Amino acid sequence: MAQPETEDRKPRSDEARSAFAPPGQGGSDSATTSEFAVPQGLDVPAAGGESETTSEFAVPRGLEVPQQAAAEPEGSAFSPPSTYSSKNAPPAFTPPDGIPVVRLTNEAPWQDRMRTMLRMPVAERPAPERAHKTDEAGPAVPRVLDLTLRIGELLLAGGEGAEDVEAAMFAVCRSYGLDRCEPNVTFTLLSISYQPSLVDDPVSASRTVRRRATDYTRLAAVFRLVDDLSDHHTAISLEEAYRRLAEIRRNRHPYPGWALTGASGLLAGAASVLVGGDLVVFIAAALGAMLGDRLAWLCAGRGLPEFYQFTAAAMPPAAIGVALTVAHVDVEASAVITGGLFALLPGRALVAGVQDGLTGFYITAAARLLEVMYFFVGIVVGVLVVLYFGVKLGAQLNPDTVLNTSERPVVQIIASMLLSLTFAVLLQQERSTVLWVTLTGGVAWSVYGALHYPGGISPVASTAVAAGLVGLFGQLLSRYRFASALPYTTAAIGPLLPGSATYFGLLSIAQNNVDKGLVSLAKAASLAMAIAIGVHLGSEISRLFLRVPGGSAAGRRAAKRTRGF
Q: How far is the C-alpha of 332 from the C-alpha of 325, rounded, in Å?
A: 9
Q: Which helix (H) or strand (E) is 518 found in, with range?
A: helix 514-542
Mean pLDDT (the chain, rounded): 75
- Maximum mean pLDDT: which of 131-145, 391-405, 416-430: 416-430
Question: Band of the pLDDT at 131, cuts 50, 70, 90?
Answer: very low
Question: Band of the pLDDT at 353, cuts 50, 70, 90?
Answer: confident
Range list of H helices, 327-458:
333-342, 347-358, 362-392, 409-426, 431-452
Of 56-65, 87-96, 346-355, 393-402, where does mean pLDDT reach its minimum?
87-96
Alpha-carbon dihedral angle through residues 556, 557, 558, 559, given to the nearest 10 degrees:
50
What percent of the chain is predicted at pLDDT more than 70?
A: 69
CB 506 within 8 A of CB 384: yes
Of 212-226, 250-264, 537-551, where does mean pLDDT reach its minimum?
537-551
What percent of the chain is predicted at pLDDT more than 90?
A: 15
Q: Which of the two residues, 468 and 500, has the higher pLDDT score?
A: 468
3-state helix, strand, coil in the chain (%, to 5): 55, 5, 40
Q: Say yes or no to pLDDT of 531 above 50.
A: yes
Strand partners, 206: 191
Q: What is the pLDDT of residues 282-306, one digit of tens each?
A: 999 999 999 999 999 899 888 888 8
Residue 190 phi/psi, 5-degree rounding, is -115, 135
The DSSP call for residue 89 is -
- Give 447's contacts (C-beta < 8 A, 6+ positions apart): 462, 465, 466, 469
Q: How far is the C-alpha of 265 from the C-alpha of 282, rounded, in Å?
A: 9
Q: Which of 203, 249, 196, 195 is nearest to 222 (CA)?
A: 249
Q: Which of the two residues, 330 and 363, has the higher pLDDT score?
A: 363
Q: Say yes or no to pLDDT of 179 above 50.
A: yes
Q: Spell out the domain ranges in the chain.
A: 110-252, 257-542
Q: What is the pLDDT of residues 69-98, one digit of tens each?
A: 555 555 454 455 555 454 454 444 444 544
- Give 79's contacts (C-beta < 8 A, 6+ positions apart): none
Q: In this structure, is the dihedral angle defined by the CA atoms of residues 402, 404, 407 and 409, taken in order, positive or negative? A: negative
